[in-house]
Amino acid sequence: MSSEEQKLVDTAGDYMYAVKGGTPVDDPQWRSCRLVMTDKRLVLANSSGKQALPHSNIEVVGEEELPASVDPAGATPMRIGDNVVLFDAADVSDFELEYCRATLHATVILTKHPAVVGGVIQDEATWRKTRFQLDDDVITLAFPGGEETTFAVDDVGTVETSEQAVMGETRTILEVEHTDEDDRSVETYFSGMDHHTTALQSLFERVIEEREGDYELDEIESQVLMALYSGVSPFEMSDFVGIPVDEVEEIYRKLLDVGAVDEVRTRTEVSLNAQGRNMASEAMNEQ
């Protein structure tokens, strides 16, 4: 390992080939190994030798990539060339998250920030090289000239993908909604090499999935959420949606219970949080 390479995880683990050379393995078996994650590669070592796998050759994938006969049992599937390999480590509580951290650690990606503010596209926003850092649960984006912006990864509301021209080349981009330092709803666009965008997508979508519950909004609750998302004051909600104040407050209590809003004051005032913005966005898409 070179002096410029940083070791981030070094632990005992297990791996299993579910697909090898593009063909499902008939009798997949777990094998023990030592797993080392650096900011450049994933190293797998056992009695047979050592494999150093650059992050650019690895893609975190979903369980749908596994043969139906393979139960991941909480392990993380990764595509490596024509192979799909499951990885697990007892001392790492969330292997996929730690791998995404390693892939993205202090790496330079492309961002457009803010690309959207309050639902309004910022025409003057341009793509810039940006150093990405995830420390604990806070993302820091460092731009040329010393400018920085930070936001909590748990504050991500929605993530969408699209294909766009980025610096003269068509790339996959992630459109990530979150709040900024001024508590505005903004969107930051991310792009880069394929393994960067897949790691970012996995990171952000896991945050959203872990936060989502099974609660289904009724029609009036959807209207209230969409109104909050559009900037309607909680105090104006009764007149805006045409229902009594006490019914609005009851809806706020339900939204507090499901984690869609945060309480600002003891009575009638709430603010939409990341989960609420995600629910409101889905409600709007269903209209």
The CATH number given to whatever domain includes residue 158 is 2.30.29.30
Same domain as 118, residue 82:
no
Q: Domain range holding 270?
A: 219-286
Banded model confidence at residue 137, pLDDT cuts 50, 70, 90: confident
| pLDDT, tens only, 78-122 | 999 999 999 999 889 889 989 999 999 989 999 999 999 988 999
Same domain as 113, residue 185:
yes
Per-residue model confidence (pLDDT) at position 5? 87
How many CB atoms are located within 10 Å of the residue 96 CB? Answer: 19
Q: From CA 60, how far away is CA 58, in angstroms rounded?
A: 7
What's this model's pTM, rounded to 2 decimal places?
A: 0.74
Q: What average pLDDT does range 245-256 have in this prediction? A: 88
Per-residue model confidence (pLDDT) at position 58? 94
Cβ distance 161 to 175 under 8 Å? yes
Same domain as 12, residue 82:
yes
| pLDDT, tens only, 189-204 | 999 998 999 999 999 9
From residue 202, give the alpha-carbon distance in Å to each of 1, 135, 208, 216. 27, 17, 10, 25
